[in-house]
Amino acid sequence: MKIIRTVSGMQNIARAAHKNGKTIGLVPTMGALHAGHLSLVNRARKENDVVIVSIFVNPKQFGPNEDYLRYPRPLKKDSAACRKAGVDFIFNPSVKEMYPEGFLTWVKVEKLSDFFCGKHRPGHFRGVTTVVAKLFNITQPDRAYFGEKDFQQLTIVKKMASDLNFPVKIVPCPTLREKDGLAMSSRNSYLKPEERKAAKNIHLSLAGAKRKVKKKKTKSIEELLAELEKNLQSTPGLVNQYINIIKPKTLEEQKHHIQLPARIIYAGHLGKTRLIDNIEIK
């Protein structure tokens, strides 16, 4: 396994791989890898000749009052995990290598980027799509792996790749969870012990709402969301940011009567930590 720091170095490797008829799988990450990331790596390992994990804490997707500076950066531990998982290359550029002075270009997916997380984190998805477009051009992947935990991000990246004709298949991967149901996230490390304990209630509440829909025990979306909101709000320290039931393809909010397939999407703060989760209802 090699760690590559420069754009041109990575592009030369990708070009040579394609010339040799090899396929490339990319797992874009901000590092602080957990089992969720590694499940993406494992899948990439099975499906491609060359596996690249990018580790880059992308400043353009953080707001001014967010956790860019304190975001964890355990590169040694991440490298060891990647090596063990059979990764071929880690792409780990500096901020200056990715955004040289005078950088001016943005890739933006309209509409989809403006609601839910986009509404609460202005500019966030524009930062995501810009860095992902760059990573696609730098690593030239045949397949790129994204977790379903960031469901809106996954949908937006898919749309960007398809609208701009990137020759890459976006592969969605299921969310991995801790034993108590909490969705794995690098940000879980911020949680204080009592917050960590309370955090399980997010998934438990979403799963409860899902059960009700499956059992047709609920009459309307409004009713379901009101109950879910109350349930979540009873979690010590949790402040809801949004809860919605959406059509998974278009992210459109559903109203009144639920139509399947659907997803319940959630964001909230537990102390200073922002957590998101979602659940599929087929």
* Cα separations in angstroms, 211 against 34, 137, 268: 28, 42, 22
Cβ 99 to a copy of itself, closest distance in Å?
8
Cβ 46 to a copy of itself, closest distance in Å?
22
> Does the footprint of a copy of itself cover residue 101 (CB under 8 A)?
no
> Does the footprint of a copy of itself cover residue 19 (CB under 8 A)?
yes
Distance of CA 196 to the CA centre of its chain: 20
Judged by CB, which is closer to a copy of itself: 109, or 183?
109
Judged by CB, which is closer to a copy of itself: 21, or 193?
21
* Cα separations in angstroms, 18 against 22, 49, 132, 137: 5, 10, 20, 13
Cβ 97 to a copy of itself, closest distance in Å?
10
Cβ 108 to a copy of itself, closest distance in Å?
5
Figure out which of the listed residues 103, 174, 192, 211 binds a copy of itself, where binding follows CB under 8 A.
Answer: 103
Mask 128-157, x = binds a copy of itself (CB under 8 A)?
A: -xx--xx--xx-x-----------------
Helix axes 124-139, 151-163, angle to 10 degrees: 50
Tell me the C-alpha distance between 216 and 148, whole Å.
25
Cβ 110 to a copy of itself, closest distance in Å?
5
Please give the backbone phi and psi of residue 131, each rounded to the nearest 5 degrees, phi first: -70, -35
> Does the footprint of a copy of itself cover residue 160 (CB under 8 A)?
yes
Tell me the C-alpha distance between 48 and 184, whole Å.
25
> Does the footprint of a copy of itself cover residue 65 (CB under 8 A)?
no
Distance of CA 212 to the CA centre of its chain: 27
* Cα separations in angstroms, 220 against 209, 255, 282: 12, 8, 17
Please tell me which residue in 18, 34, 37, 256 is annotated as part of the active site.
Answer: 37
- SS3 of 269, please? strand
CB 137 within 8 A of CB 24: no
Q: Output the DSSP codes for 5-39.
A: --HHHHHHHHHHHHHTT--EEEEEE-S---HHHHH
Tell me the C-alpha distance between 154 and 146, whole Å.
6
Active site residue 269: no
> Does the footprint of a copy of itself cover residue 112 (CB under 8 A)?
yes
Q: Which stretch binds a copy of itself (CB under 8 A): 7-15, 25-33, 48-56, 180-188?
A: 7-15
> Does the footprint of a copy of itself cover residue 119 (CB under 8 A)?
no
Tell me the C-alpha distance between 76 and 44, whole Å.
21
Figure out which of the listed residues 37, 43, 121, 159 binds a copy of itself, where binding follows CB under 8 A.
Answer: 159
Figure out which of the listed residues 30, 109, 128, 279 binds a copy of itself, where binding follows CB under 8 A.
Answer: 109
Figure out which of the listed residues 7, 117, 224, 275 binds a copy of itself, where binding follows CB under 8 A.
Answer: 7
**Active-site residue list:** 37
Q: Given the rule CB under 8 A, which residues bind a copy of itself? A: 7, 11, 15, 18-19, 21, 103-112, 129-130, 133-134, 137-138, 140, 159-160, 163-167
